[in-house]
Amino acid sequence: MPMSPEDREDLAIAKTLLENPGIAAKLADLLGTPIEQGFALLPGDWRDRITTATRDALMMSLKSALLTMDAGGRESFPRWHKFAAGFAGGVGGAFGLPALIVELPVSTTIMLRSIADIARSNGEDLTSPQSRIACLQVFALGGPAAQDDAGESGYFAIRGALARAVTEASEYLAEKAILEEGAPALLRLIAKIAMRFQIQVSEKAAAMAVPVLGAIGGAGINLLFIDHFQDMSRGHFVVRKLERKYGEALVREAYRSV
């Protein structure tokens, strides 16, 4: 059936959120300096450390956030999660860049709970493996970055790239009552999402390395970080809600045309 004007307007807002500038541009505005300056200040082994920390954080957040959330409720509470993320960032910021490895799993878990909260308010059933994986998928939707020139089709291009891994991980969660960290289906999905999420984490690390950060604090960086992913989740779950109503093909065509 044709999409109603109200739903088409919701889709236009979702597209605006999903095709937003990435974390790097927002951090540069916050800091008043190009984020590239921060990369030059990072230690030599930071890439490997962030890669490992990002994968560990995603797996930990999946276990401690999604698998313990109540499936009921239709109201989201983004401000509470922003407060929690800001507090975690403030504590981590007091100990400088090395604390990022410790703070990242905590912040990622808080963000994933906020993402799931928004998903639930958009009609997602958090007992469904597909909905849980869709929440985790948001971390791959970081918005355009310098390393990711996907253009306006970026949102659906990313979903397409993750499709097979998402299906396999959803099937695994549907069959297993207990999450096993070494499960190949989950590891493949986590690795694919981590490849994109670590871009955003690296930009966060670079921002923390900029000297002016002392005047802003890790709390400010974390508030911007969670605000960004809350926007991504709002767009993502509006698209999924419309797909349940109209079908994926019609929504994708409408997304391109709005």
In a domain, 15, yes or no: no
Pick the range with the lowest mean pLDDT from 29-33, 176-180, 242-246.
176-180
Q: Is the pLDDT of residue 11 over 90?
A: yes
Residue 255 placed within a domain: no
> pLDDT digit string (tens) for 97-119?
666 777 788 888 888 888 988 99
SS (H, E, C) 87-148: HHHHHHHCCCHHHHHHHHHHHHHHHHHHHHHHHHHCCCCCCCHHHHHHHHHHHHCCCCECCE
As for how many domains the chain has, the answer is: 1
More confident residue, 252 or 40: 252
Residue 59 has pLDDT above 60, yes or no: yes
Is the residue at 99 inside a domain? yes
Residue 221, domain extent: 23-142+149-235
| Global confidence as pTM | 0.84
Asked if residue 103 is part of any domain, the answer here is yes
Residue 177 per-residue DSSP state: S
Contact criterion met (CB below 8 Å) for 203 and 229: no
Is residue 172's pLDDT more than 80?
yes
Closest CA to 224 of 37, 58, 26: 26
Would you say residue 10 lies in a domain? no
In contact, 120 and 75? CB cutoff 8 Å = no
* pLDDT value at residue 151: 39
What six digits make up the tokens of 39?
A: 């990369």
Residue 255: pLDDT above 70? yes
The answer to whether residue 215 sits within a structural domain is yes
Higher-pLDDT residue of 110 and 9 is 9
Contacts 24+ apart (CB under 8 A), 55-60: 55/190, 55/191, 55/194, 56/105, 57/104, 57/105, 57/107, 57/108, 57/109, 58/108, 58/136, 58/139, 58/190, 58/193, 58/194, 58/197, 59/181, 59/186, 59/190, 60/105, 60/108, 60/109
> Is the pLDDT at 129 greater than 50, yes or no?
yes
Tell me, yes or no, whether 252 lies in a domain: no
**pLDDT average, residue stretch 207-230:** 72
Tokens matching residue 226: 């969670």
In a domain, 12, yes or no: no
